[in-house]
Amino acid sequence: MAPLAHTFDPTILREYDVRGIVGETLSAADAYALGRSLGTIAVEEGGSTACVGRDGRLSSPELEAALVQGLADCGLAVTRVGCGPSPMLYFAAVTSKADVAVAVTGSHNPPSHNGFKMMRRGKPFFGADIRRLGEIAAAGAWAKGQGSVVEAPARAAYVARILEDWDGGERGLTVVWDAGNGAAGEVMADVAAALPGRHVLLNAAIDGTFPAHHPDPTDPATLEQLIAAVQAEGADIGIAFDGDGDRIGVVDGQGRILWGDQILQILAEDLLKTRPGATIIADVKASRALFDEVARMGGQPLMGRTGHSLIKTLMAETGAPLAGEMSGHIFFADRWYGFDDALYTAVRLLGILARMEEPLAARFDRMPRLVNTPELRFDCAEDRKFSVIQAVKDRLAAEGAEVNTIDGVRVNALGGWWLLRASNTQAVLVARAEAPDATTLDALMATLRGHLEAAGVAAPETVG
């Protein structure tokens, strides 16, 4: 007999998704209740269909089965698209026009974690929508019905559609791919097999214990195996994916890491040849060099708030064909569907490289060089982090500083900038700075540290 109501652990209902530790804050009962609550919203809006996919974590089959049952018990016709990257689920949902869609995935989090990423009618489902799931579950105000469940693996159609947009001709590159044993592995292998050139696959087997390394391409330590293989193979490029295949990592033929804004710069240059004047969006953490380069190349640079759901929403509002985040989320609405998809991005990037007269390493050498910090993250209590940002914002306003407040504070000073923002998903503050030279960077970080201390925060040694 189905439960009459359900209370989620308050820590799992995040801004952009639902995430928890399996057996501690997240269980199959939560997955069932999530299905009932999301299904209820779909039914309220006249919907009748749902798509569900999952990653390769050991807990995902059980959670996916409970979620599917919850959706079906609301009366929805549920399509199970199988194990694969989150973008495969997004693709299936958009092309089938499903009313709601859920990827069961822990993304790049540790093996003990899992969660759910959701869509509604092809658009992001986040913020207040996720909070409403908790309200519906707590009240037990669930729709009731007898739905249906069908198995319809989406992998072959997804791979075929990605390959439709290959535009690199027959030139063969040497490419090293690393799925990190994440959900992108099988699709990665299919795509690589269909492309010209020589392809070396690392960690393509889906394994929820992630035996090789943690699947997070924003962490340089996770790219060490890829870098070594690129150098050993004399490859043109190395490509890495996170645990659910929506974020990309790239290294050039010399083993140097290209960060999200640098990848976006190459993609934007190519896109602006066919779509001159197009809006290109990057998040608030991106380098000034990217925004300057987009403008120089004839595009319209636009700074957006960090967060994949927020970026997707801004793309839809502005009609931007391309967007990206420092975290490696890249979004194409040019020939694609506007969601973040690392496998599709990889194929578009390889197509560009195949048409370029110079190697990726040479293109990287031509990029404007500024000195910057990595993303610095440090703990700050959930109930304090936003008040700290407000205190810094007030102090900057009193000083008459040049500040962008779209997402925290990004302060222009001394020919560079520094950023302080509160994470929407964790009890942390995030800082970053960029300057023309190391001396100026030190000065900017010292200023940032001073503002933190004035707001009552003991800044860690990594800041300033």
Q: Quick one: angle between helices 288-296 and 260-274, nearest 10?
A: 10
- β-strand pairing of 100-104 with 113-120: antiparallel
Active-site option among 37, 60, 107, 287: 107
In angstroms, the CA 12 to CA 124 distance is 18
Copy the structure tokens of residue 136.
């519906």
The contacts of residue 444 (CB under 8 Å, 6+ apart) are 413, 414, 416, 417, 418, 433, 435
Q: How many CB atoms lie within 10 A of CB 194?
A: 14
The sign of the torsion formed by the CA atoms of 147, 152, 155, 160 equals negative
List of residues 6+ apart from 442 with CB closer than 8 A? none
Concatenating the DSSP letter of every residue in 200-223 gives EEES-S--TT-SS--S-TTSGGGG
The tokens describing 53, both together, are 């996919």
Residue 107 annotated to the active site: yes
User: Taking each helix axis from N to C terminus, what angle separates 28-44 and 60-72, rounded to the nearest 10 degrees?
Assistant: 30
Give the integer Cα–Cα distance in Å for 365 and 346: 20
Residue 48, classified by CB atoms within 10 Å of its CB into exposed (0-12), middle (13-18) or buried (19+), is middle
d(CA 75, CA 175): 46
- Given a contact cutoff of 8 angstroms between Cβ atoms, the answer to whether 301 and 277 are in contact is no
Cα–Cα nearest to 92, from 157, 141, 38? 157
Number of other residues whose CB lies within 10 A of the CB of residue 289: 17
Q: Which amino acid is at 62?
A: E
Task: Please identify every residue annotated as catalytic.
Answer: 107
